[in-house]
Amino acid sequence: MDRRAERALARRRKARRGQAIAVVSTVVVLGGLAALVLTSPGWSEVRETFFDWEKFKEIFPEILVGFWLDIRVFLIVEVAVLLIGLVVALLRILRAPALFPLKLLATVYTDVFRGIPTILLVYLIGFGVPALELSGLPSEPVVLGGIALALSYGAYVAEVYRAGIQSVHRSQRDAALAVGLTEAGALRHVILPQAVRRVGPPLLNDFIALQKDVALIAIIGVAGEAFRIAQIDASLDFNYTPMIAAAMLYLVITLPLARLLDHWERERGKRYS
Binding site for another protein (CB under 8 A): 171-172, 174-182, 185, 189-190, 193-194, 197, 271-272
Q: Which residue's CB is nearer to another protein, number 45 or number 174?
A: 174
If we measure between CA atoms, which residue out of 204, 166, 198, 172 comes closest to residue 185? Answer: 172
**Smallest separation, CB 272 to another protein (Å):** 8
What is the identity of the amino acid at 48? E
87 vs 196 by CB, closer to another protein: 196
Beta-carbon count within 10 A of 87 CB: 15
Nearer to another protein by C-beta: 168 or 230?
A: 168
State how far the Cα of 52 lies from the Cα of 240, in Å rounded to an integer.
9
Q: Minimum Å distance from CB 188 to another protein?
A: 8
Identity of the residue, 4 or 270, whose beta carbon is nearer to another protein in the bound complex: 270
DSSP code string of 181-208: --HHHHIIIIIHHHHHHHHHHHHHHHHH
The Cα angle at residue 136 between residues 131 and 141, in degrees rounded to 5: 55
**Shortest distance, position 86 Cβ to another protein, whole Å:** 17
Q: Rounded to whole angstroms, how far apart are CA atoms 167 and 70? A: 34
Task: Encode 165-178: b = buried (16+ Cβ within 10 Å), e = exposed.
Answer: beebeeeebeebee
In angstroms, what is the minimal distance from the CB of 190 to another protein? 6
Q: Shortest approach of another protein to residue 78 CB, angstroms?
A: 24
- Main-chain dihedrals φ then ψ at residue 221, nearest 5 degrees: 80, 35
- Minimal distance, residue 192 CB to another protein, in Å: 10
Distance CA 85, CA 207 (A): 13
The residue (of 49 and 194) whose beta carbon lies closer to another protein is 194
Taking the C-alpha atoms of residue 10 and residue 220, their distance in angstroms, rounded to an integer, is 62
Q: Which is nearer to another protein, 3 or 170 (CB)?
A: 170
